[in-house]
Amino acid sequence: MPARDTPKKRVAILRAELESHNYQYYVLDQPVVSDAEYDALLRELSALELRHPRLADPTSPTQRVGAPPSEKFASAHHHSRMLSLSNAFDATEFGDFYRRICDQLDVSTVELVAETKLDGLAINLVYEDGILTRAATRGDGTTGEDVTVNVRTVRSVPLRLRDRRPPALIEIRGEIYMEKAGFEALNRRQERAGEKTFANPRNAAAGGLRQLDSRITASRPLTLCCYGIGHFEGGRVPVTQVEILARLRDSGLRVSPATQVVEGIDACLDYYATIRASRASLPYEIDGVVYKVNSLEQQRVLGTIARAPRWAVAFKYPPDERITRVVDIEVQVGRTGALTPVARLEPIFVGGVTVTNATLHNADEIRRKDVRVGDTVVVRRAGDVIPEVVRVVLEKRPANTQPYKIPDSVPGQATARLVQEIIHFASRRATDVEGLGAKLIEQLVTQGLVASPADLYLLDVETLAALERMGEKSAENLVGALEKSKQTTLSRLIYALGIPEVGDATADNLVAAFGTLEGIRQASAEALEAIADIGPVVAARVTDWFCQKANSDVIEALQERGFTWSEEAPGGTDVRGLENLTFVLTGALESMARDQARDRLRTLGARVASSVSKKTDVVVAGTDAGSKADKAATLGIAIIDEKTFLEVLEDPSRITRWIDGPDPKS
């Protein structure tokens, strides 16, 4: 320590110097000292603070080392809601978004800000009078987890803003993530230490941030990039997104370097293509680009639906594709007896998970793609979708391979089919028999105890208790669950019967049109085809199914064994309130199971579909609603949250507020 400075003064100098180096390094990306020089300054400061405890300060650059573990995270309420983004997956969907906002704003083009979409975790940083007082995860958008101690260890998060006159309170929104290089170094370190490695940078970042021991977080190469603000008190109110980004940068926060102002669809598509071309060489992973309306006034006019603003969209990059080898091809038996070929693959990491199987769909598909055992193939996986083989890399085909021929039958096919049929019958959307899992069904079928779904209702406690991994208690529970499942709705029954091509939405449509089982059974192909979503193929499947005696026998046996369902006359005169509206449910509801919600909607005359399309009228978004809500937002379909949904169930006429009035304020 130079002789002239008092400890107090020296501490102040060191802190200012270290803060400035942080800014140079993290925000400007122009370090002016080496890591060793930085560390020397930091050590000097630590030593001084240790010797002079009264000079301690929580915003000191030394206070990033982490603290001893805590029990669990406290919850943290955000001052303003943390929204999510709706998605566009191709240029058409993006064009829909662009035109819709132009229409709503009554303009021919609109100025957007394009940013990269970093693949990490959203964070909300609260600064009071310029000092970081809290950092929280997004959680359900309203309340997240308080991860302040962990976030303090992230070097690119300023503990104090650089503003000379900071706002009284500001919420700053950004992404915590791990750069590719840091991720790889971390995995090498983990491997050497015999610890588990991470699947991808995103998981590694999540794991790092959600550590109860922040000293571990401190050792993980996490970083921050900011893209917005939330609640805000004091100071000048920004009027554009560009201004927000500039402000964040001035305050000492990192923002995406690739940000650009774009106007017109072509400019947007250009940006998308340029970033895509540089994607692999970026130091961090991105899963798309984000476009936001630049003017905050225009943002206000456009408003927000449920969980995503109408003024922004994430334009995603297509799913990850990787190359691997087909080790074998096997067939799986489905509930209708259909054989589905499945490629067994050399394990490959694609789209965020390790994949070992990929569906080949059917014989036609195999023939078309000509996938053979031993082939090198391109495999794709998008989100929660089943991995699939995209194509064969013919140049890499080994000599002497044979075209794969799907067998007409496989040993044990009838048994396998029956097992699948019963799994389907008892599944959640069908009769929902709790505690009747696949393993148990396999035992029941192979031991000859059950030869059709109706036989389930002949099982007694004694028989069940004698089965593997069953006891008296679980047998009793199962008999109870079976008893309970006997009272169901006609839609569930129709779905449970496993008629080929009849999913729960179709079952629903059939019930809405014909009202009774008898009505459906006797419907002609023409009458069936008159129903929305039913074409000649499905119509033929339905009539064929009801023609077969074995199937009528099952229905009869079910009835004999006490199986009942509610029936309604079709097109009854009673007004139920939600007729002719198609709902889609997504995300978890707190007040009821999804099936229950579905049944209640149907009772009110609504159709419930499983996927969002232009025909969807309303999407009910629970917590963690995923791509369906995103798609709905892109299509401009009304999205309601659980609270509103409950209000609608209470009084269906309220729905008009959401499907006619475009801006549902929650």
Under rule CB under 6 A, which residues in 95-124 are in contact with ligand IVH?
115, 117-118, 122
Secondary structure (3-state) at 522: helix
Distance of alpha carbon 53 from alpha carbon 48, whole angstroms: 8
Q: How far is the CB of 630 from ligand IVH (least distance, A)?
A: 8
* Residue 2: exposure state from Cβ atoms within 10 A (0-12, 13-18, ≥19): exposed
Is 314 a binder of ligand IVH (CB under 6 A)?
yes
> Binding ligand IVH by CB under 6 A: which of 309, 351, 577, 636?
309
Catalytic site residue from 117, 292, 628, 631: 117
How does 575-607 read in b/e, with b if 16+ C-beta sit within 10 Å? eebbeebbbbbbbebeebebbebbbbbbebbbb
Distance of alpha carbon 385 from alpha carbon 365, whole angstroms: 18
Is 139 a binder of ligand IVH (CB under 6 A)?
no
- For CA atoms 488, 489, 490, 491, give the dihedral sign: negative
> Binding ligand IVH by CB under 6 A: which of 227, 495, 545, 563?
227
Element spanning 489, H or E:
strand 487-489
Q: How far is the CB of 52 from ligand IVH (least distance, A)?
A: 41
> Binding ligand IVH by CB under 6 A: which of 130, 158, 228, 636?
228
Element spanning 507, H or E:
helix 504-514
Is 312 a binder of ligand IVH (CB under 6 A)?
yes
Nearest to 226 by CA among 129, 315, 132: 132
Q: What are phi and psi of 554, to 5 degrees?
A: -60, -45
- Of the two residues 286 and 502, which places its CB atom closer to ligand IVH in the complex? 286
Nearest to 451 by CA among 565, 544, 545, 557: 557
Q: How far is the CB of 152 from ligand IVH (least distance, A)?
A: 20
Is 290 a binder of ligand IVH (CB under 6 A)?
yes
Distance of alpha carbon 517 from alpha carbon 615, whole angstroms: 26
Q: How far is the CB of 241 from ligand IVH (least distance, A)?
A: 10
Is 85 a binder of ligand IVH (CB under 6 A)?
yes
Number of residues assigned to the chain: 666
Is 625 a binder of ligand IVH (CB under 6 A)?
no
Nearest to 534 by CA among 549, 517, 512: 512
- Of the two residues 220 and 307, which places its CB atom closer to ligand IVH in the complex? 307
> Binding ligand IVH by CB under 6 A: which of 14, 45, 83, 539?
83
Is 607 a binder of ligand IVH (CB under 6 A)?
no
Q: Decide if 123 contacts 173 (C-beta within 8 A).
A: yes
Reply yes or no on whether 117 is catalytic. Answer: yes
CA dihedral defined by 88, 92, 94, 95, rounded to 10 degrees?
-160
Is 135 a binder of ligand IVH (CB under 6 A)?
no
Is 372 a binder of ligand IVH (CB under 6 A)?
no
Is 505 a binder of ligand IVH (CB under 6 A)?
no
Give the residue nearest to ligand IVH (CB): 122
Total residues contacting ligand IVH by CB under 6 A comes to 15
> Binding ligand IVH by CB under 6 A: which of 62, 84, 586, 644?
84
Is 171 a binder of ligand IVH (CB under 6 A)?
no
Q: How far is the CB of 288 from ligand IVH (least distance, A)?
A: 8
> Strand 169-178 vs strand 222-233: parallel, antiparallel, or unpaired?
antiparallel
Is 621 a binder of ligand IVH (CB under 6 A)?
no
- Of the two residues 309 and 387, which places its CB atom closer to ligand IVH in the complex? 309
Task: Mention every residue, 6+ apart, whose C-beta is less than 8 A from residue 164.
Answer: none
Residues contributing to the site for ligand IVH (CB under 6 A): 83-85, 115, 117-118, 122, 138, 175, 227-228, 290, 309, 312, 314
Instruction: List the catalytic residues.
Output: 117
